[in-house]
Amino acid sequence: MGEVFLGSEAVAQGRLTEYELRRWHRPLFRDVYIPNRHEPSLRDRTVGAWLRSGRRGAVAGVAASALHGAQWVDDDSTVELIWSNTRPPRGLVARAERIADDEVTYVARLPVTTPARTAFDLGRHLPRAKAVPRLDALMRATPFSAEDVSLLAKRYRGARGVRRLRSVLPIVDGGAASPKESWLRLLLIDAGMPTPTTQIPVHEGWRLIGLLDMGWEAFRVAAEYDGDQHRSDRRQYVKDIRRLKKLEDLGWIVVRVIAEDRPDDVVDRVRDALIRRGFRR
């Protein structure tokens, strides 16, 4: 057996003996098993959590966003279920919350909160700095309507974290191509700069020079986060240097940000570039 399954169910159906179950499989949760040689993925753990709920819970939160296609979700992320259980097993968060039938859909035969309900939960339960990248990733994978999320906030007006959700929702942007880009955008917004546009196409005549991570077209100022691939991949590095030179020739100021930069220095560099181009608070 290669799938995640209920041990008691497999034995009762004659698919395994008790000996085979204990010898060749290990538990994910109580009575939920996987083969010994199998390293569980987030999908495996999500299926296991749902089975542990007696097939009654609805997958929610970060695990739901991953099922909807959101990237940058680690395999060891905590699985959340909307399920009434005061003592959930380790690695599983059970939320005894109200949920309507129109807030649940099915993905890979699992009951999962809809994209709007998933966004509603992420924006309420996560700190702002973590909620924005998660919501950006969800929006990038499965665009959802902010209006639909706001309607859920009205439906559950007294729910915990609704105020936090309302502060986060207006700045969600599916154009963020990584959590670090989300972090950079949030840093600049919190520093009092106008909300940048993401994924700005720059053309020379009919030819596309590239897409800028974020920036302000009116001032021709952009900010880009350089990940590790810019240092580890020589071909990419050379390509980026040539691209940067072309952008400068076309009148763009591109502020490049790396992991070692101090946030205050990043803000100062971007603000100085905008001021040089005429920006005033």
d(CA 48, CA 37) in angstroms, rounded, equals 16
Give residues with Cβ within 8 angstroms of 87, minimum separation 6: none
250 residue type, one letter: L
Cα(239)–Cα(242) distance, rounded to whole angstroms?
5
Helix (H, G, I), strand (E, B) or coil at 154: helix
Measured CA to CA, the distance from residue 278 to residue 237 in angstroms comes to: 31
HSE of 35, CA atoms in CB hemisphere, 13 A: 5
The pLDDT tens digits for 113-137 are 999 999 999 999 999 999 999 999 9
For tokens 């220095």, the residue is 265
pTM over 0.85: yes
CB 133, CB 176: distance < 8 Å: yes
Backbone angles phi, psi at 189, to 5 degrees: -65, -45
pLDDT score of 257 more than 90: yes
Segment 137-150, tens digit of pLDDT: 999 999 999 999 99
* CA pair distance 54, 80, nearest whole angstrom: 15
**Residue 242: count of CB within 10 angstroms of its CB:** 11
Q: Tell me the mean pLDDT in the region 79-95.
A: 94
Q: Is the pLDDT of residue 192 over 90?
A: yes
Q: Which domains does the chain have, with CATH numbers?
A: 59-171 (no CATH), 179-276 (3.40.960.10)
